[in-house]
Structure 1
Amino acid sequence: MGKQLSPTAVMALKEALCSVYWYKSDLRSFLQLCLSNPSLLSKFNWENYKRQIVSDLIDLLVGSPDKYIGDLTKICYELCKIKDFNHLKQLDDGTSKVERARAAILQLRQLVEPHQDIKREQDEIEKRQEIAAKKLRDNVAVRQKLEEIRMRYMSLIGASNAQTRGFELEKIMYDLFELFDLDPKASFKNLGEQVDGAFALEGTDYLFEAKWQKELVNKADLAAFSDKVRTKLENTLGVFLSINGFSTDGVAAHQAGGASIILMDGGDLMAVFEERIDFVSLLLRKKRYAAQTGNIYLSYFQMVAAK
């Protein structure tokens, strides 16, 4: 995609956003995961009509191409990857809405030459992962520290005291965030709510919560964490780590619309400890997939299987 979108492409982009995301909550969630500075969304009146919000946002981005070309490219890229419109089938006149959305995406693809952009972004992702992997291999001190953290984690597997295990897991994750230069903050309380930690990555603030319990983390646990995230600034997302995973109904309920959290499990954590992927690449892959599909729970093993 060039330095500027053509007027026709701008109209196609607006139409695609309005057609694919029928509800404003879904639209906002998608944009929050795409924009480099999600707080930009707070500039708009979300009580307004959806089409007006989309028009105002895209006009703002197009009006400053040097500043927002990356955001425009990201939005176009993620939209053009969409192939599943099942979420629209459930609506009244769903078949018509699906066809309209599919046609809008097709027109956008034709106008912004997405294949070139997709190839470029894929190359950039692979290059970044190669650089991260090489950095990890070459940095003996980092690998030694990662191994030390891994051993501390492994020592907790047989621990019988769940409270102690949970507390130690928080400290392990703090050290992992620090190792990958994520500016971590330890657990804190805010107006009576407990937050296990926080960190920052590429201009986005993340709240973090971890659970190590026999039961799958359920819908109520995810709802409580989502509420904590939603009360923070617009550019805040959440990462929930459940060593033993999440209930199917819990995941489904929290990716239905307006999701602001990303999920990790013990398999993801072990992939990082075993140097199969670095933590930053893992998180960015999860965030990108959530923006593209609405699915907030993509495990490392699913990433590998999809290759």
Structure 2
Amino acid sequence: MAIFLAEQTTFPDLRNWEDSAIKIQHASKAVAELKALLASQTEQVRSEREREAVKAKAREEREVAQRQRTSLSELMKRLDDLAPQMGTAPGGYAFQDWFYDFLVFAEIEHRRPYNTGGRQIDGSITIDGTTYLVELKFTADQAGGPDIDVFRGKVESKADNTMGLFVSMAGYSSVAVREASGRKSTLLLLDASHMYLILTSGMQCLDVVRRVRRHASQTGEAYLPVSSFGG
């Protein structure tokens, strides 16, 4: 009713009165005051809703951040607990399970390990439209040149736009880095320092892969140490 009255601009019922001009003037003033009051109340309600929305969003962001901290903490503890098994077959399988749980947390599109053409593939991930075959190495020794050669063969047997992401927790020999690098290299190399950067700094896995790929595109080098990420 109040909204209807506030929208009234003419007053036919007040016409043809002896003092109709005064009555219409008073009515117009009353309608204007009512409209101002309703506008104020509407703005107050809107402001209150906006404040509540801001509070709700902030609360949700805090909860998400807390869940992420908890999840990252749990993932890091699980990875730390795997250290004594490094270099063993059970440790390798456990690390593989950990890695794909990590990808689920990071919300990265992926496929778990599979066999194709008689070759074991440790899985794949897709980032920015590019599919990367994954090679996981959870050994006490660094990945060497032969490891790179075998993995490159798997990658190059796939479609032209396929790349490879090698994750060796013990790192790489200088020969391995040299073999993986070069003109039109299709491989990116990550090690334990990259994984712990994600787990401890808040840097997203997507951004780490993008940073290493950008470096490879600019220099032909498949490996970028974490210490050089700022450059």
TM-score by length of 2: 0.69
Q: In the alignment, what sits opposite 2:228? A: 302
**What is the CA-CA distance between 1:276 and the residue it aligns to?**
4.4
**Quick one: distance in 2 between partners of 1:176 and 1:136?**
21
Identity %: 24
- Mapped partners of 2:99, 2:227: distance in 1: 21
Unaligned runs of 5+ in 2: 1-60
- Say if 2:138 is the partner of 1:208: no
* Partner-residue secondary structure (3-state), 2:83: coil
Q: CA deviation at 1:137?
A: 8.9
Question: In 2, distance between residues paired with 1:253 and 1:196?
Answer: 20
* Equivalent residue number for residue 163 of structure 1: 89
1:28-107 to structure 2, matched below 5 A, reads none
Amino acid at match of 1:280: L
Does residue 1:188 correspond to 2:114, yes or no?
yes
* Mapped partners of 2:62, 2:98: distance in 1: 19
1:270 has 2:202 as partner: no
How far apart in 2 are the matches of 1:247 and 1:159?
Answer: 21
Q: Does the 8 Å contact 1:208/1:240 carry over to 2?
A: yes
Distance 1:145 1:228, change over 3 A: same
Residue 232 of structure 1 corresponds to: 158
Q: Is the 8 A contact 1:239 1:263 kept in 2?
A: yes
Native 8 Å contact 2:198 2:205 kept in 1: yes
Do the aligned residues in 2 keep the contact of 1:204 with 1:237 (CA within 8 Å)? yes
Note if contact 1:136-1:143 (Cα within 8 Å) is conserved in structure 2: no
Residue 177 of structure 2 corresponds to 251
Residue 66 of structure 2 corresponds to 140
Counterpart position of 1:173: 99
Distance 1:136 1:192 in 2: 47
Unaligned runs of 5+ in 1: 1-134
Q: Provide, for residues 190-209 of structure 1, a one-character-per-residue CA deviation record: whole Å limited to 9, x for no partner.
A: 11111111111111111111
SS at match of 1:139: helix
Do 2:112 and 2:123's aligned partners in 1 also have CA atoms closer than 8 Å?
yes
How far 1:189 moved relative to its partner? 0.9
- Counterpart pick for 2:75 among 118, 140, 149: 149
Q: How many residues align?
A: 171
- Find runs of 4+ consecutive structure 1 residues off by over 3 angstroms: 135-138
Letter of the 2:69 counterpart? R
Find the aligned partners of 1:243 and 1:232 in 2 and give their Cα distance.
Answer: 25
The Cα of 1:175 is off from its aligned counterpart by: 1.3
Q: Tell me, yes or no, if the aligned pair for 2:87 and 2:138 is still in contact at 8 Å.
A: no
What is the alpha-carbon distance in structure 2 between the residues aligned to residue 231 and residue 184 of structure 1?
19
Distance change in 2, residues 1:145/1:231 (3 Å): same
**2: CA distance, partners of 1:228 / 1:136:** 43
CA distance in 1, matches of 2:181, 2:62: 33
Q: Higher RCO, 1 or 2 (CA under 8 Å, sep at least 6)? A: 1
CA, structure 1 residues 220+230, in 2 after alignment: closer, same or farther (shift >3 Å)?
same
**Structure 2 counterpart of 1:201, which letter?**
I
For 1:171-197, what per-residue CA distance to the aligned partner results, in whole angstroms no more than 9, with x for missing partners? 111111112221221111111111111
Task: Answer with 1 or 2: which has the greater Rg.
Answer: 2
Q: How many Å separate the matches in 1 of 2:224 and 2:139?
A: 20
Measure the CA separation in 2 of the matches of 1:233 and 1:136: 42
- Give 1:218's aligned residue: 144
Contact 2:72/2:199 (<8 A) preserved: yes
CA-to-aligned-CA distance 1:234-290 (integer Å, 9 cap, x gap): 221111011111110121122133310100011111111113422111110001110
Q: For residues 62 and 76 of structure 2, what CA distance do their matches in structure 1 show?
A: 15
